[in-house]
Structure 1
Amino acid sequence: MKDNLEKCQLAAIAAVEAYNRPGRSFRTAQFLVMIVIAWTALFHAVYYRRNVKPWYKKNGRFERIDGDPKHWDLAECVKRFYGANHPAERKNIEFLIGLRNKIEHRHLPELDPSLYGECQASLLNLEELLVHTFGSKYALQEQLAVSLQFSTVVPPEKKKAARALAVSNARSVKEYVETFRGNLPSTVLSSMKYSYNVYLVPKVANRQSAADASVEFVKVDEASEEELLRLERLNVLIREKKIPIANLELLKPGDVVTRINASAPFIVSQNAHSDAWRYYKVRPKTGAKKPEQCDTAFCVYDEAHKDYLYTQAWVSRCIEAFSRAETFRQITSREPKLQDDF
């Protein structure tokens, strides 16, 4: 068990080192390989602590490879650890496993800007389980530091990312990311356990005791109402518009409705689609003073044409929602009608 914990720590530190290393090439891919190793080692340690051998069995006997037991891979560990439960932490791991499998033989540095949240959440979730199960002496915080930033300017690579992903060898990865995110319930998608997204706010030390750290993490559930109001105002001031992964394949409302009707069992009209974006709050109301304030995982404002375009992730979300009669009623306040009836 001790060897597994050491392996977990070393792999996690290597993952952070790979991600934080200056330069753009291959950082997410390297992070994924090492964080999967870290999670696998941690789960093995957890099972050994429970006196459970995390080994595969075949015909009632433990399988072996070159004389050594065949250990459970990460997917099997997750399946057995969480059972029938599907918290945001589990979805985060499953997302990264699938993504690791997708990009294992591809070179796609363009994905890095859009995947930071899931990568950061995975690291924090790993340390939380590590400390909760084995004690604070295994915490990684003393061995890690907040990565240094050279500039406050949004790098042009973020804006080029979607265009670069138009190449053929990136399409399956892009579709995987969009589909996975689009099928998540809103509670998971917005959870910090699934994707950790924060704002860097300049901090000025006005007393000696506050000068030891230039970055401060504030727990929302422990903050006062005044502090929450101040943070919300800061968020509004510095909020960065996220660039969706597939902005070369954004869809007009009519195209969205067509795709939904091609898969959903119930008839979805333009009005039903409008009800959906209002229900899920993916964009402002028509005529809003700030039309660009959208949930850009699902929708973006087209400044040139003064209208809204939608992502494939939004199509997936709508198909899932409109495929259930109860959800259809919640969104539209109308009774759904089957496609076959017309």
Structure 2
Amino acid sequence: MLSSLLEGDQCRGVRENVGKWIELRNAVAHRHLPALDALVIPLAQSGLLNFENVLVEEFGPEYQVGEKLSVPLQLSGFRDPGVLSSLKRLQSSLPPDVQAVLAAADAAPAELLSDPTYMLRVAFVPVVHGSGRSPDSVAYFVPPGEVPSELAETLERYVVLAKPTARPNFTATDVINEVQRRAGFKFSVHDHIQACRNLGVRPPVGEPETTLDFRYAEYISSLKRHLYSQAWIDLLVSEFATPQRFTELTGRTAVPLEAP
């Protein structure tokens, strides 16, 4: 019965959504990974709506569960600019095989990412009702295909969804060698750690090791070390344009690379 609902190109999103859940289930079996919860919300939302549609289509509207569920309250994301960084920290703490499944889900073709039966992301738009009137509902859900064109254009301009990008893949040694070559100053492991902290990429001494700016680095818990991006190398080279700035960021006098 269900297999017949998954046939045809129009059901590709449903098939791919189920496939990702199977991959995730196989990857996380017998593991307790609370960090995974917040990261699979787009897949979970689509999966839940797909299940609801199957119930209605196969057994009738009297079996739908949507009317029996409470409206969830959003506790974060409206004022906290660090939500995205927090999610990235959560994802970096997951085992590599689970991270690979999530990365593959986000790297799907554009037409699949825009299919709400595969992955559904929503935008919360606060609405203030006129005084003296009771709203018909405390929350409104507008299906993607029914969003008015003027609202869709506004959301497209102002709501920016993170797109998959190449993850940092340079080790500290790679960074040190390249910065030395391009900046022309001797640059040690200690210098690099000091620069990371002074530029806000790694936390101060004594605090748990993590990443503070994902544009430049990512802490890989399974490797127990940071990996760095090309943007980090370029930033260091530009910062070390003068010996004075080198000293400010490392706490050590700049020594030309060719010096004995």
TM-score w.r.t. structure 1 length? 0.43
Q: Within 5 Å, give how 1:57-96 maps onto structure 2.
A: 78=3, 82=6, 87-96=12-21
Deviation larger for 137-146 or 104-113: 104-113
* Residue in 2 that maps onto 1:34: none
Question: Distance between the aligned counterparts of 2:34 and 2:163, measured in 1?
Answer: 15
Deviation for aligned residue 1:190? 1.6
Kept in 1, the 8 Å contact 2:20–2:101? The answer is: no
Q: Deviations over 1:137-173 (max 9, x none)?
A: 0111111122112342347464144345445x61011
Equivalent residue for 2:113, pick from 168, 181, 189: 189
Match of 1:242 in 2: 162
Distance 2:141 2:230 in 1: 32
Q: Which residue type is aligned with residue 23 of structure 2?
A: G
Match in the other structure for 1:174: 99
User: Rg bigger for which structure?
Assistant: 2
Matching of residue 229 in structure 1 with residue 155 in structure 2? no
**Is the Cα–Cα contact under 8 Å of residues 91 and 99 in structure 2 kept in the other structure?**
yes
Partner of 2:139 in structure 1? 215
Cα displacement (A) at 1:113: 3.1
- One-letter identity of the residue aligned with 1:230: L
Match of 1:141 among 54, 60, 66: 66
Q: Does the 8 Å CA contact 2:17/2:117 hold for their aligned counterparts?
A: yes
1:99 is aligned to 24
1:20 matched to which residue of 2?
none
Distance 1:211 1:220 in 2: 22
SS in 2 for 1:221: helix
Aligned partner of 1:179: which letter? Answer: A
With over 3 angstroms needed to count, the CA separation of the structure-2 counterparts of 1:304 and 1:234, relative to structure 1, is farther
Contact 2:56 2:63 survives alignment (8 Å): yes
**Partner residue of 1:150 out of 75, 79, 82:** 75
- Paired with 1:301 and 1:113, the residues of 2 have a C-alpha distance of 28
- Partner residue, 1:113: 38
Give me the CA root mean square deviation: 3.7
Structure 1 unmatched ranges of 5 or more: 1-46, 48-76, 251-291, 293-299, 307-342
1:280-331 Cα distance to aligned partner (Å, 9 max, x none): xxxxxxxxxxxx9xxxxxxx9959948xxxxxxxxxxxxxxxxxxxxxxxxx
Instruction: Give per-residue Cα distances to partners, 1:165-204, cap 9 Å, x unaligned.
Output: 445x61011112223443x433222200000111011011
- Name the one with the larger helix percent: 1
Aligned partners of 2:90 and 2:75: how far apart in 1? 24
CA distance in 1, matches of 2:58, 2:35: 36
Higher relative contact order (CA 8 A, sep 6+): 2
In 1, Cα distance between the equivalents of 2:90 and 2:146?
42
1:18-51 superposed Cα distances (whole Å, 9 cap, x missing partner): xxxxxxxxxxxxxxxxxxxxxxxxxxxxx4xxxx
Distance 1:304 1:241, change over 3 A: farther
TM-score between both structures, scaled by the size of structure 2:
0.55
Contact 1:174/1:245 (<8 A) preserved? no
- What's the CA shift string for 1:70-100, capped at 9, x where partnerless? xxxxxxx65x763576611011011011101
